[in-house]
Amino acid sequence: MNFTTLTLRDAIAQELLTSLATDLDMLEDGADSLIIRIYEGNTIINEYVDLHDLFYEQKIAGIIVNGNLTVNAPIIDFEIDTYSSFLIVHGSLTCKTLAAGCAEIIIDGDVTVADAMVAFYNHGTIEIQGDLNARLLIIDDHGASIKGRINAATYCRGWHIKGANYTNWRHILLPEVADELLDEKDYLFAGDVRLLNMLKDEKPVFRDKLGDISAANNPEAKIVSWETVKPMIQHLECKYEAYPFAIAEKREPGLPDDRFLLYNGTTVLDELDLDTEDYMSIIVVGDLHVKGSIINENTDGACSLIVLGNLKAKNVCVGGQIIYINGYIAVEEMLMGIYNHGELYSTSYVWCPVVIADDYSFYFPDYANVKVLELYDQDDNDLIKEKLIGELFDEEEGFLLYSTIREGVPLLKQQEQLTSITKEALEAIINAPLLGPDNYKVAFDEDDWYITLDRGGEIDADGNASPSSVIAINLDKGKYYFWYLSEDGTIATMIKEGEDWIMAPPEAATDILEHFSLINRLINRKVRWNNKYVQNINQEELWKLVWMFRNGQEETVFQASAITICRRVLYAAAYPFAYIFARYKEDSEHRGLAGYPSWAPAAALLDGLIQWELAQEITRNKPLAEKSEELDIITNYNWGVAYQIPEQYNTKPIDKDFMIELNADLAAREGAILRLDAGIGSFVIAGMHVNDLDILNDLMHPLGIYPKYFTVVDKEEEDALKEIADALLTAASDEDPLKLQPYREYQATIWNYAYNELGDVVFWQNWMETLQSRLTNQAGSSYIFRGESHVAPIHPEFDHWINWCEKYKTIAEGSHIILPEEEA
């Protein structure tokens, strides 16, 4: 047990402690009195090591072993909050028990513990570069990091161990120990001094055969009644009922099918098929491990599953019942819920690579942090297809193929793994469309990674050009990578150690290649996202549209602004990712374009018009009087006048009534002030000659912008038009489509009311919806299978009116229609 010593100050000066994360400045007052023990070569210690006692009683700041360390006794740290001696082993560690709270323990090799490794509270760190071999690993809110394999039974109440074997103390403690240590709620803090003293004294604490979870130990399955089950589950909270089956219970004295299959204890099954009518539910009082899949195809009414513990399975594909897991869920490949006749609950963490909802409801706690992919959401569906094998879905129908799951084949796609990091691979990333044609950098996040692409070539303060590079950071995992093109044409890699970026050591090559491959896949995902939202814009029509806002400006002056606006729109259409996340990032955040990228060209046009003061945006969250400057810009530009804002708008926001009054005043000038409705709540206003409105509509509608011309309504005219509209509904219910033809002469007038939100807005909205419904019902299969050769073609009159209604529906869905209650 020979060792040498250094003062803490000397050890710091000799850079022996650079691997520590501890802020050693807090020990500055004792830097000359605190001692570091240094053991050279393989070391054996035959006595108990108390890391907290070493620091406070013997003034030993830490221990460094330059070799393997064997301690034929426990290593314990009783302290959770302040400071204990650190332990650095430049080799492997073997001991009887390892339990630590606030101590920092770094092991460069493997750790072998005869009994248990216990890590408790979040003020300490244990870093093991190799494997952990032990009977039991307990982590209780502690930042333990094990880079190699965990060859041990595991206990954890939180997220620190994914799918731990145990989350219940009574399942790992000897019964007499559990009775002594656990409180009335069966709670125990892993750093409890009573438990630590038992470990220090090497007393029996834990059960035998921990981790031996197999079907051989399954409890006997029993058929029981509701009276037996109810006390077990009535504490479980549900969304639409007090507890599972409570609604059914209230309809009749007992449940309709009073048969439950009960497993009273942890249960292991090969498969679980819930397509059975033998039981209303399966109840597991304990954990449930399913080696294969939990599945059912009858999504209208299948057997339920209640697990009063944790659930592990390879796959879960369910629907048509209640699934309630009163613990964590750990699924290896896919968790999918189908149809709205079922729901799934978990009360703890959820670990699964792919969670999919097909018109289904999952109820997870917020801290579970689950990304649920919606099957029919376009972006989510692309992600599903990226992660899951193609054989799982029928390409035409899109339905899940249950047979593929039942075959037991791996559902997760094998992801492409690069064999090397080359100049060509980095250049392919940089030359992808994410940077657009004119940006040096773009930054984004994906799957908890923060990624920055740098084209290179930007000149810094010293006159040096930056290299092409990719930076990837995952704060949760503590991963930092910086790949860049070096002067010799190779790819250099830097990683972060503490606060410093350093060149990656050779032994990190495998990890670096794996993560570069991962980041490359995430970047390619964004490239696919970009390509999906690329749009073709008719440049000639766009040019005509922008020139409609010229209003007498000198041609060469207006041409500069027109070119800039058109280029902005075309940029948004060709490079949506670069537009949103790099070139026009601030405007895009204001518009929320990350969530609605298909709207980027329309937003680009509006913001371009606003930038050049050809349109203005007036919020409805402030009184109009506070936005009078924006209004004056439009009225001055178009008609050379400033409009006096009525007194009531000193407290009221802009509304349709104001626009109606303003348009009444502008009628003598044949002017129209328009709301450029693109589905946002604010008013984007612009001026136009009334004779140009039809042309403006034709040019703007393809971009998803709908100019609205609010004008005063003649009540008698509208009442007469309503009578005609009612007669048109009657004609639409008739089997003879030719009875619709006489009403074509009223189409333009009715369209003006519905489209421009005039008069009785709610009536015209509902009328359009009713008309479309009646027309499609009368058209029948000719409408449903429109364009297909096996049915008769739709009658031209039906086709004409249905197209008209569908056009309105598209516009209404893309508009922010102002209803009367919004004006109140």
Query: What is the pLDDT at residue 342?
Result: 93
> What pLDDT digit, counting tens, does each position of 73-128 carry?
999 999 998 899 999 999 999 999 999 999 999 999 999 999 999 999 988 999 99
Using the predicted structure, report yes or no on whether residue 824 has a pLDDT greater than 60: no
Where does 246-346 have alpha helices with state H? 246-251
* Dihedral angle sign, alpha carbons of residues 219, 224, 229, 231: negative
Query: What is the pLDDT at residue 25?
Result: 78
DSSP state of 28: G
Using the predicted structure, report yes or no on whether residue 257 has a pLDDT greater than 80: no
Using the predicted structure, report yes or no on whether residue 498 has a pLDDT greater than 80: no
Distance CA 460, CA 464 (A): 5
Query: Average of pLDDT values for 250-254?
Result: 67
Higher pLDDT, 717 or 401: 717
Instruction: Tell me the CA distances in angstroms from 57 to 50, 54, 84, one per residue in order.
Output: 10, 6, 11
- The kind and range of the H/E element at 325 are strand 322-325
Query: What is the pLDDT at residue 500?
Result: 87
590 pLDDT band (50/70/90 cuts)?
very high
Higher pLDDT, 785 or 616: 616
Using the predicted structure, report yes or no on whether residue 258 has a pLDDT greater than 90: no
Global pTM reads 0.82
Query: At a CB cut-off of 8 Å and minimum separation 6, what does 162 contact?
Result: 330, 351
Distance CA 89, CA 112 (A): 13
Query: What is the pLDDT at residue 598?
Result: 95
The DSSP string of 93-155 is: EEES-EEESS-EEEESS-EEESSEEEEESTT-EEEESS-EEEEEEEEES-EEEE-S-EEEEEE
Beta strands, E only, 129-250: 132-140, 143-146, 150-156, 222-224
Query: What is the pLDDT at residue 397?
Result: 59
* Dihedral angle sign, alpha carbons of residues 330, 213, 169, 205: negative
Average pLDDT taken over every residue of the chain: 93
Query: What is the pLDDT at residue 369?
Result: 82
396 pLDDT band (50/70/90 cuts)?
low
Distance CA 703, CA 605 (A): 9
* Dihedral angle sign, alpha carbons of residues 437, 440, 444, 447: positive
Query: Average of pLDDT values for 35-54?
Result: 96
Query: What is the pLDDT at residue 250?
Result: 74
> What pLDDT digit, counting tens, does each position of 122-147 carry?
889 999 999 999 999 999 999 899 98
> What pLDDT digit, counting tens, does each position of 637-680 carry?
999 999 889 999 999 999 999 999 999 999 999 999 999 999 99
Using the predicted structure, report yes or no on whether residue 816 has a pLDDT greater than 60: yes
Using the predicted structure, report yes or no on whether residue 459 has a pLDDT greater than 90: no
Query: Average of pLDDT values for 804-821?
Result: 89
Query: What is the pLDDT at residue 457?
Result: 86
The most confident of the ranges 501-510, 610-619, 784-793 is 610-619
> What pLDDT digit, counting tens, does each position of 691-736 carry?
999 999 999 999 999 999 999 999 999 999 999 999 999 999 998 9
Higher pLDDT, 149 or 820: 149
Distance CA 131, CA 490 (A): 33
Distance CA 525, CA 386 (A): 8
Q: 104 near 144, Cβ under 8 Å? A: no
Q: Which of 541, 549, 499, 503 is nearest to 684 (CA)?
A: 549
Using the predicted structure, report yes or no on whether residue 822 has a pLDDT greater than 70: no
Q: 302 near 316, Cβ under 8 Å? A: no
Least confidently predicted of 32-46, 103-117, 742-756, 777-791: 777-791
Least confidently predicted of 18-32, 468-482, 578-592: 18-32
Query: What is the pLDDT at residue 272?
Result: 97
Query: What is the pLDDT at residue 132?
Result: 97
Using the predicted structure, report yes or no on whether residue 539 has a pLDDT greater than 90: yes
